[in-house]
Structure 1
Amino acid sequence: MIEPGTALSLIAAHGIALVAPLALVEGPIVTIIAAWLAQRDLLDLRAVVAVVVLADLVGDALVYAAGRTGGDRVARLLRLRPARVEALALRLRQNAGRLLIGAKLTHAAGAAVLFAAGAARVPFGWFMLCNTAATLPKSLAFVALGWWAGESYDRIGAWILPVSIALILTAGTALLLARRRCP
């Protein structure tokens, strides 16, 4: 993970041209910092939105391609257990849209689900449509957060993962409770 201070220095020095490659590596914190710099008139806000959305979608397509072509070697490289990938692939074959959008919005489960979507051979057009549907509001939320609270980028970066995990646990608990109530 890129240190937030390092990302800030690099983006401030090199501008929007560096946002895309950094956003491929660490999207949320780079988006927050870039939006904050746009709020301070150091970057163009429209360019920030376009670049972070595009970088997120390109990154997702690369993970999908790795799942589609890379198999077990890439799964091990990404530290994904083959059994987990196969379980996700089975669920994706049954309900790709909901699982893809949910994984993208929670941030924590994203890479495993994107990789499994490739392994499950979810049609690429459908994959990108679902990803775009989730990427737009997620990226815009991080841009808004950066615009209004970007000066706190170091603290924000520390709580993105814990909040994502809490959202996953809450959603999982709600699903389990809903399934128990339905006959």
Structure 2
Amino acid sequence: MTGPEDLMALVAAHGLPVVGLIAVVEGPIVTVLAGWAASGGLLPLWPLVATVVLADLAGDLGFYLLGRHGIGWVPDRLRRRLGLRPDRLDRLAEQFRCRGGRILLLGKLTHSAGALVLTAAGAARMPVAPFLVCNLLATVPKSLAFLALGHIAGHTWERIETWIVNGSWMLLALVAMAALIWWRRRASAA
């Protein structure tokens, strides 16, 4: 990733397009740094909000398309090794039909599972419109929170990046434990 000094120089020279392009790939910490740039008057706030939200959605759509169209490029033998058998893909599609919104929201909020969940949504052939709506519902508050964090404490971006990474892994572990407990209770009740 580009360092904050380099990013601030690029932002000063080129503005929002630079933020948008970098945020597609590396959203959270770039959003924090962009919030910090906005607090220093380098970027206008409301166009920045729109830019980081659209960039996040574009990155998510990229993962979705990878899942939707990328499986066809994977050789059959590797697909079987990865467990991407037709019956499993059918079950995955059923999960996204029944609980797609919840799955996407959890994936987006845990951040560490986000890419996997977004790709799975594409592989499950979740319709694009509900995919985008659910992502938008998770992206707006998440982006606003990271912008506010950057606005308030962007100068501590390295510490914030560590918090984001550690917090997302801890949240993923909690979700996995809750799912395991639910699954065990369900299995023992049957």
Structure 1 residue 72 displacement after superposition: 5.7
Gaps (5+ residues) in structure 2? 76-80
TM-score by length of 1: 0.85
Q: Deviations over 1:85-134 (max 9, x none)?
A: 95783543442111111001111111111111111100111111111111
* Residue from 97, 104, 107 that aligns with 1:100: 104
CA-atom RMSD, angstroms? 2.5
**Identity percentage of aligned residues:** 47
Structure 1 residue 181 displacement after superposition: 5.9
Which residue identity does 2:13 align to in structure 1?
A
Q: Is the 8 A contact 2:11 2:42 kept in 1?
A: no
Q: Deviations over 1:146-173 (max 9, x none)?
A: 1111111122123311110001112222
Answering whether residue 171 of structure 2 is matched by residue 167 of structure 1, we say yes
Which residue identity does 1:65 align to in structure 2?
L
Q: CA, structure 1 residues 180+27, in 2 after alignment: closer, same or farther (shift >3 Å)?
A: same
Answering whether residue 42 of structure 2 is matched by residue 25 of structure 1, we say no
Aligned pair count reads 178
User: 1:139 and 1:113 mapped to 2: Cα distance?
Assistant: 19
Larger CA Rg, structure 1 vs 2: 2
* Residue from 106, 120, 125 that aligns with 2:124: 120
Which residue identity does 1:24 align to in structure 2?
V
User: 1:180 and 1:74 mapped to 2: Cα distance?
Assistant: 33
Q: Which residue of 2 aligns with 1:61?
A: 61
1:1-183 matched pairs, under 5 angstroms: 1-71=1-71, 73=73, 82-83=82-83, 89-90=92-93, 91-177=95-181, 183=189
Q: CA, structure 1 residues 5+174, in 2 after alignment: closer, same or farther (shift >3 Å)?
A: farther
Structure 1 residue 36 displacement after superposition: 0.8
Q: Is the 8 A contact 1:92 1:99 kept in 2?
A: yes
Which residue identity does 1:154 align to in structure 2?
E
User: 2:6 and 2:92 mapped to 1: Cα distance?
Assistant: 36
Question: SS of the residue aligned with 1:139?
Answer: helix
